[in-house]
Structure 1
Amino acid sequence: MSTRCLVALTALLAFITAGCGAAADTGAPAGNGVEPSRDVLSAVVVDEAAAALLPADVKARGVIRFAASIGGTPPSAYYAEDNRTALGQDIDIAEGVAKVLGVRVEREAASFEAILPALAAGKYEVGTGNFGVTEARKQTIDFVTYVNDGQGFAVRANDDRLSGVDRLDQLCGLKIGTGTGTTFEATLEREKHVCPDQGKPPYEVLPFSEGSAVYLGLQQGHLDVVMNTINGLRHAAANQPNLRFLGEFKRLDVGFALKKGSPLAPALQAAVNELIESGAYRQILDKWGTTDSAIPRSEISPPEHS
């Protein structure tokens, strides 16, 4: 795809996404059970036991420094119509955790693929971006889980070549769009041999930094399939014309990302569990239409789902 074409596609979906932002500002549901303006955090209060787990320097300054991947559409993290206000499930859970701990979130927007290396280098304390827990990532990153999401596929609704994807060899010969630096890209690249091993044409992996470009590349016929988060694809299929969700491929726990051995992990885990026990957690997920992704309890760097 040419650079000129990609810019045009990105600009067009930015316009479409702005329409979703308008729904957030007016309080109108954004589809797929999403209610962007619903207040789910005002009743959250400080839990002294969780706050006591904060490292002394963080408690003293009263701020946790977050890097956040923000963009696209609900439910994870996106911008309202003003292109400045961050909304979404990741945002609400982070803000709820901060309220439980009695601190503020200092959030800096960063590209998805840049956050994990920056955490390992100590630039940020916590990262959000629907980061799935994998054994490879756990070599350098710790995770504090807060939902269970995972990997799925979508196609144009008028494309009947696929009814679902259970195995990657069903994608032989197709062009697959996904996000740069994601578990989707890693999975596709790692298993790229499956088609040639069977004497079939390989699938082509086309990673994009802009999620908007992936969906428009699909609609314009430059891509055959999109691989993304289960919740993201469900929402997109409910709101975008001519898009069909093919179902779940693999579940993954999703969590706050931290530098390996970060002393913040126990405090974040305690705060997530307090949100779960108080009922605020369920309200957040209900607001964003993601109650199927609820976890019973937060864990620190659990094993990757097989």
Structure 2
Amino acid sequence: MITVRPTGRTFATAALAVVLAGGLAACGGSDETKAEADASVGTVTVGQQAKGIAKPTELKVEKQQSIADLVPDAIKADGKLTIGIGALPTGFPPLAFVGDDDKTITGAEPDLARLVAAVLGLKPEFTNNTWENLFVGIDSGKNEVGFSNITDTEQRKEKYDFATYRQDNLGFAVKAGNNWNFDKNYKNLAGLKVAVSAGTNQEKILVAWQEKLKAEGKTLEIKYFADTPTTFKAIVSGQIDAYFGPNPGNAYQTSQTQGTPDAVRNAGVYSGAGESLQGLIAATTKKDNGLVKALAEAINYLIKNGQYKAWLAAYNLDTEAVDTSLVNPPGLPKSNA
């Protein structure tokens, strides 16, 4: 989720790319998909065209006029909400990727955007970008909002407004049947072998815990593997005890391996912002374009009325739920960027 380079997401691994073969260059906007058509008539099917990664769930979502009235006239004039996704070139399941039909942009992030657009009474129109061009699109106004695992940071607040909708968590994956849990206490890592990806925020955190344990006369062995498939094979074979990585990626592996000999489970989460601050993922707009309050109110409507919970459940992301959408809350400090 957050790396030691500019914060964002780090799910485009070789294992996940396999799921996406065949539709990586697709973009939204020109052809109306069933998902967009549904959103315009009061229903949104989350998990549609999702390659089996999510359970398709049809949700009723009616336009809420009092919330729709908060959308600036300049944005709602064309009846559309243009949504930027930063999933090129490979996508990052379960959050954003190209669907079964090789054109629908699907995943947890686009589906929440569809739900929000339905509350606002606007037709969702997607553009799939590289991570860098997602922000270029927001800056230019081409993308009126970004729903793409964007972390709320103090540095980004200089240019963007945020309406939060998910916790930004790292997580521990272990073999199904392994009763170990992290319990948000680094001391529980003593004596374990834990894999992590090099050059990431989670590596930085794990190394700090290793140093603390060493000072206490305890050990934590950190392991590195070439890619995600190799890492998860090492968990199942018993070479390592756990993997510390982005929670959505672990949730994806958990859902895909359930009931198989390679089954893994979630053994606890930890804020990507560290011990003192819960990191948050947010819908992102150009600063002061007037849209952020409407987005937060739409998300809070979905939370209150149950569609938000059903959306998280469809993608096995229940551990990242928030109680309310906040506008521009404290973000990841500049020193962590």
* More deviation, 116-125/83-92: 116-125
Indicate if the aligned counterparts of 1:66 and 1:106 stay in contact, CA closer than 8 A. yes
Of the candidates 254, 259, 266, which is equivalent to residue 281 of structure 2? 254
- Alignment deviations for residues 218-265 of structure 1 (CA, whole Å, 9 cap, x no partner): 3588xx855213x33123134243756452121422210122223111
Q: Judging changes above 3 Å, is the alpha-carbon distance between structure 1 residues 203 and 125 closer, same or farther for their aligned structure 2 residues? A: farther
Report if aligned partners of 2:75, 2:144 keep a CA contact under 8 Å in 1.
Answer: no
Which one of the candidate residues 285, 290, 300 is aligned to 1:273?
300
Where 1:39 maps in the other structure, the secondary structure is strand
Unaligned runs of 5+ in 1: 1-8, 19-23, 207-212
Change (3 A) 1:219 1:148: closer
Residues of 2 paired with 1:122 and 1:191: CA distance? Answer: 39
Match of 1:227 among 232, 235, 245: 245
Amino acid at match of 1:228: P
CA distance in 1, matches of 2:51, 2:137: 36
Could you list the runs of 5+ residues in structure 2 that have no partner in the other structure? 1-12, 22-46, 235-239, 272-277
The answer to whether the 8 A contact 1:138-1:301 is kept is: yes
Residue in structure 1 matched with residue 55 of structure 2 by the alignment: 35
2:231 is aligned, of 218, 228, 234, to 218
Alignment of 1:1-306 (within 5 A): 10=14, 13-16=16-19, 30=53, 34-36=54-56, 38-40=57-59, 43-70=60-87, 71-74=91-94, 76-116=95-135, 118-120=137-139, 122-154=141-173, 164=182, 176-177=196-197, 185-186=200-201, 188=203, 214-216=227-229, 218=231, 225=243, 227-229=245-247, 231-240=248-257, 241=262, 245-250=266-271, 251-304=278-331
Distance across 2 between alignment mates of 1:186 and 1:286: 26
1:93 positional shift: 1.5
- Given that 2:164 and 2:326 are in contact with CA atoms closer than 8 Å, whether structure 1 keeps it comes out as yes
Name the SS for the 2:110 alignment partner.
helix
Q: In structure 1, the residue corresponding to 2:77 is in which secondary structure?
A: helix
Give the 3-state SS of the residue equivalent to 2:164 in structure 1: strand
Q: Deviations over 1:5-29 (max 9, x none)?
A: xxxx83x6544567xxxxx679996
Name the CA shift for 1:125/1:194 in 2 (closer, same or farther; >3 Å): same
Where 2:127 maps in the other structure, the secondary structure is: strand
Q: Which has the higher helix share?
A: 1
Identical-residue share of aligned pairs (%): 25
Q: What amino acid is aligned across from residue 275 of structure 1 in structure 2?
A: L
8 A contact 2:152–2:282 mirrored in 1: yes
Structure 2 vs 1, CA of residues 106 and 214 (structure 1 numbering), >3 Å: closer, same or farther? Answer: farther
Opposite residue 228 of structure 2, the aligned amino acid is Y
Q: Which amino acid aligns with 1:35?
A: K
SS of corresponding position for 1:61: coil
Q: Contact (CA 8 Å) 1:156, 1:218: kept in 2 or not?
A: no
Structure 1 runs of 4+ with >6 Å offset: 24-29, 190-200, 202-206
Corresponding residue of 2:44: none
Could you tell me the TM-score, scaled by structure 2's length?
0.62
How much does 1:300 deviate?
Answer: 0.6
RMSD: 4.3
Distance 1:139 1:44, change over 3 A: same
- In the aligned structure 2, how far is the partner of 1:110 from the partner of 1:227? 24
CA contact (8 A) 1:155 1:226 kept: no
The 1:217/1:289 distance shift into structure 2, 3 A limit, reads: closer
In 2 relative to 1, CA 279–238 (structure 1 residues): closer, same or farther, beyond 3 Å?
A: closer
How many angstroms does 1:67 deviate by? 1.0
Deviations 1:259-283, CA, capped at 9 Å, x for gaps: 2223111111121122223332233
Normalised by the length of structure 1, the TM-score is 0.68
> What is the CA-CA distance between 1:50 and the residue it aligns to?
1.0
